[in-house]
């Protein structure tokens, strides 16, 4: 019998307990032994709940118990999670986490600690919730050089953008609705400003390059400036607007960005709607792959965490290698990235826009006055900025042309 401890009895923590109970028989078969939750660490008590008999308030009870072989960190945030995870690894306990902030900030250090102790540090649930994406990159695609990863990596913003697109609601109105439904936090900044998706693309890029991508160095823009007018232009262009975390190799450079993009119907992520996440991966041998599913939520996220627990139990005494060194990956400059841009400009001086941007395709939407939109030919971000300085830009959305 493998004894585990769960740090944090919130949505994911209670989901982990539920998955282990619901699927106990099949999990026992797959892990090779039964998995029992011995402790749950939480600041709170849960009187009347059967979990109460397992609740502890002091992490050292878990750390000092030699029976506990796997610690599950589902508290979120970098501290105290990082301190607790390090204590667990130092004590020879494998760790599974859903915490993308922790993994993005300390991934290689925690992976190295686990390797040294011949135990495991696993983090499948940290990106894409229930979607298997860490294990595919780490174990299934080892024959390939991954050339691109582009994903809808944040369910909250995908819900907001889908709703704005389909129902024509404003950003503020849709955010309030998402908060009322529990899809968006009361402080939605991490999601709507793109920080959450940025950390996730940093983790995925680190995994496929084997080096550390500093999330602070990824150009990141959120969705707060996207308006109903942008969606009307998008519709006219046969596009939708999606917040993408994207990174790709180009020669010896890797470029990464998190931003809203316009994508058309042939894009593999075009139909990934509501809170669903989707990740497109291209490998130089396998070609295009798509991973789609629930990117958040109690049971989907817990499913990924429990799969890690099973892997840790199955590989007790063996480190499953994760290639992610602390060597920093110098990202290519965003200014050098080349793509088309959708631009909205104040006024009606199409000639001035053509003089600044060259060959453009002008778009007008009935009912939107005092401005016009256009799509540029492919140009570098640097060239875009130089041209944009010559006109009065209302908003700009990049185009992504990934095809399956």
Q: Which residues are catalytic?
A: 200
- Which residue from 196, 221, 371, 381 is in contact with ligand HSE, where contact means CB under 6 A? 196
At residue 112, what are phi and psi to the nearest 5 degrees?
-65, -40
Question: Quick one: 245 or 268, whose CB is closer to ligand HSE?
Answer: 245
Measured from the CB atom, the residue of 158 and 340 that comes closer to ligand HSE is 158
Tokens describing residue 248: 């790709």
Binding mask 273-312 for ligand HSE (x = CB under 6 A): ----------------------xx----------------
Tell me if 337 contacts ligand HSE by CB under 6 A.
no
Residue 290 or 321: the one with the smaller Cβ distance to ligand HSE is 290
Stretch of residues binding ligand HSE (CB under 6 A), selected from 43-51, 148-156, 214-222, 262-270: 148-156
* Preceding peptide of 337 cis, ω within 30°: no
Of 13, 129, 260, 300, which one interacts with ligand HSE (CB under 6 A)?
A: 129
CB of 151 to ligand HSE, least distance (A): 11
Residue number, 136 or 155, with CB nearest to ligand HSE: 155
Residue 196 CB, shortest distance to ligand HSE, in Å, is: 5
Cβ-closest position to ligand HSE? 156
Burial of 180 (0-12, 13-18, 19+ CB in 10 A): exposed
Nearest residue (CB) to ligand HSE, 59 versus 127:
127
- From 152-160, 265-273, 326-334, 340-348, give the range in contact with ligand HSE by CB under 6 A: 152-160
Bridge partner residues of 39 (DSSP): 5
Coil, strand, or helix at residue 281? strand
Q: Tokens 């389909």 label which residue?
A: 166
**191 counts as binding ligand HSE under rule CB under 6 A:** yes
Cβ atoms of 114 and 88 closer than 8 Å: no
The H or E element spanning position 246 is strand 239-250
The residue among 215, 218, 221 whose CA lies nearest residue 106 is: 215
**Which of these segments, 139-147, 149-157, 238-246, 379-387, binds ligand HSE (CB under 6 A)?**
149-157
Q: Which of 224, 239, 267 has its CA nearest to residue 363?
A: 239
Burial class (CB in 10 A: 0-12, 13-18, 19+), 242: buried
Burial pattern 304-314, b for ≥16 Cβ within 10 A else e, equals bbbbbbbbbbe
What does the binding site for ligand HSE look like in residue numbers (CB under 6 A)? 129, 154-156, 191, 196, 295-296
């Amino acid at each position: 019998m493998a004894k585990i401890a769960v740090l944090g009895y919130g949505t994911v923590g209670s989901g982990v307990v539920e998955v282990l109970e619901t699927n106990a028989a099949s999990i026992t078969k797959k892990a090779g032994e039964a998995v029992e939750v011995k402790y749950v660490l939480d600041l709170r008590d849960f009187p009347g709940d059967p979990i109460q008999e397992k609740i502890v308030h002091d992490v050292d009870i878990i750390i000092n118990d030699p029976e506990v072989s796997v610690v599950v960190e589902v508290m979120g945030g970098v501290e105290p999670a990082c301190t607790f995870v390090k204590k667990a690894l130092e004590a020879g306990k494998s760790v599974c986490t859903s915490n993308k902030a922790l993994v993005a900030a300390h991934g290689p250090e925690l992976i190295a600690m686990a390797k040294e102790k011949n135990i495991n540090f696993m983090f499948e649930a940290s990106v894409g919730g229930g979607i298997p994406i860490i294990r595919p990159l780490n174990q299934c695609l080892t024959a390939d050089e991954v050339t691109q990863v582009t994903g809808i990596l944040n369910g909250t913003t995908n819900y907001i953008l889908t709703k704005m697109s389909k129902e024509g609601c404003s950003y503020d109105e849709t955010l309030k609705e998402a908060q009322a439904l529990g899809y968006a936090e009361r402080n939605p900044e991490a999601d709507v400003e793109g920080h959450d998706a940025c950390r996730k693309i940093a983790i995925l890029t680190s995994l496929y390059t084997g080096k550390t991508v500093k999330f602070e160095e990824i150009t990141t823009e959120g969705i707060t400036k996207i308006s109903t007018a942008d969606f009307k232009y998008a519709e006219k262009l046969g596009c939708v607007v999606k917040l993408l975390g994207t990174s790709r190799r180009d020669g010896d450079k890797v470029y990464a960005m998190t931003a809203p993009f316009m994508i058309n119907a042939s894009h593999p992520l075009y139909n990934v709607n509501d809170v669903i996440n989707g990740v497109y991966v291209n490998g130089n041998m396998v070609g295009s792959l798509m991973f789609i599913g629930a990117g958040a939520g109690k049971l989907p996220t817990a499913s990924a965490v429990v799969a890690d627990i099973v892997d840790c139990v199955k590989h007790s005494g063996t480190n499953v290698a994760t290639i992610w060194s602390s060597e920093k990956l110098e990202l290519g400059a965003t200014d050098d990235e080349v793509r088309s841009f959708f631009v909205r400009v104040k006024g009606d001086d199409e000639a001035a826009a053509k003089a600044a941007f060259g060959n453009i395709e002008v778009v007008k939407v009935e009912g939107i006055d005092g401005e016009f939109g256009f799509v540029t030919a492919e140009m570098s971000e640097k060239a875009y900025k130089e041209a944009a300085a010559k006109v009065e830009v209302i908003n700009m959305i990049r185009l992504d042309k990934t095809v399956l």
